[in-house]
Amino acid sequence: MKINADLIEKYHDDRCTPEERKAVEDWLLNCEVDDLEFHSEKDKQITKADIWNGLDAILPKEEVAKVVPKSASFYMWKGAIAASLVIGLLSFAFYYFNQSRPTAVDFVAFHNKSSLKVNHINAREYDLSVGPETFAEVNENNGIIDLSGSILISPKKDIDLNFGGAKSKVSLKKGQTYIILNYNTGNQGLLVVNEKNLIHLPPVMQKKLTYEFGI
């Protein structure tokens, strides 16, 4: 079932059928982000800006539910979407922080679609910068990370990452910064390099990574 603004509005007004309710809740707890259907492109832009502003303000804090969109001039359903996202985020936070896997990473998925910008994420166990055009997902059952792209990670404690396959278990030390590259195309395989050892990479890759991550 395609989730759209009308359906979310119905959900908040408690007018959903059990099927619709389940679809909305599945959507909220799902980490795959589909584009929402909007009434107009203008609405989309306004909502987008609003959601980003809202997220900026709430992300570092735990009490995210208290933050609501500021302006009353927005259409009713936009507030609902923002609130839904907030609920979704809270659910995520609750879900991740309550998992007890001491050596596993606490992200489940991220996707940086930008071809230029790096996304920065602060978590309990690490600081993470996600390179352009990078996708990663942790399999909840076996903890194996499916990475395609480049990440810069600084663990706050010793952690093990498992990228699947033989020789793909990577132990990272607290306080160090690592660059991890993995692409499904090409023959290069999984590359893990400590930031201080960047010189060992081919010069062209060094240039790309120092420029991209600002290191």
Partner 1 sequence: MQFFLARKLRNISTILMLMLYFSACKNSSSSLEKIQKYSIHILDMSGKEYVLTTDDLDAGSINPDEVTEALPDSISRDIIVKDGNYYHLARKSDVFTKYALKNHKLAAVSKLQLKDFDQENFIWVGKDSLLLSGLNHGFNMGRYYLINTKEMSIIAFGLLDIGQPTGKFITTSIGFVKKRKDTLFVGYTFHPPMRNGTFTTSDTIYVSRLVYPSMKSIGLEKEVRSTYPAGVNNVQTNEFTDEKGDFYFMSCPGIAMGNRPELPTAIFRIKHQSLQIDKAYFFNLSTLIGNHAYGLWYLGNGKAIARLERKDLFKGLADHYSTPHFEFYLLDIAKQKVVKKLDLPLDKGTRKDCIIIDRDKVYIAVNSETDGNYIWNYDLITDKLTKGLKLGGVTAFIVRLDKLVD
Q: Which residues bind partner 1 (CB under 8 A)?
A: 133, 149-150, 181-183, 185-191, 194, 196-200, 202-205, 207-208, 210-211, 215
CA dihedral defined by 102, 108, 113, 115, rounded to 10 degrees? 20
Residues 6 or more apart whose CB falls under 8 angstroms from that of 151 comprise 128, 129, 130, 131, 134, 136, 179, 180
Nearer to partner 1, 132 or 143 (CB): 132
Kindly state the smallest distance separating residue 148's Cβ from partner 1, in Å.
8
Kindly state the smallest distance separating residue 152's Cβ from partner 1, in Å.
14
Kindly state the smallest distance separating residue 116's Cβ from partner 1, in Å.
10
Nearer to partner 1, 64 or 209 (CB): 209
Distance in angstroms (rounded) separating the CA atoms of residues 84 and 87: 5
Kindly state the smallest distance separating residue 69's Cβ from partner 1, in Å.
38
Kindly state the smallest distance separating residue 73's Cβ from partner 1, in Å.
42
Residue closest to 176 by CA, chosen among 201, 152, 200, 199: 152
- CA 33 to chain CA centroid, Å, is 10
Nearer to partner 1, 39 or 208 (CB): 208
Nearer to partner 1, 23 or 190 (CB): 190
Kindly state the smallest distance separating residue 37's Cβ from partner 1, in Å.
31
Nearer to partner 1, 2 or 200 (CB): 200
Nearer to partner 1, 74 or 183 (CB): 183
Q: Give whole-number Cα distances, 210 to 27, 28, 43, 83, 215, in Å.
A: 37, 36, 38, 38, 5
Neighbours of 85 (CB within 10 A): 18
For 179-210, the DSSP string reads: EEEE-SSSS---EEEEGGGGGGS-HHHHHHHH
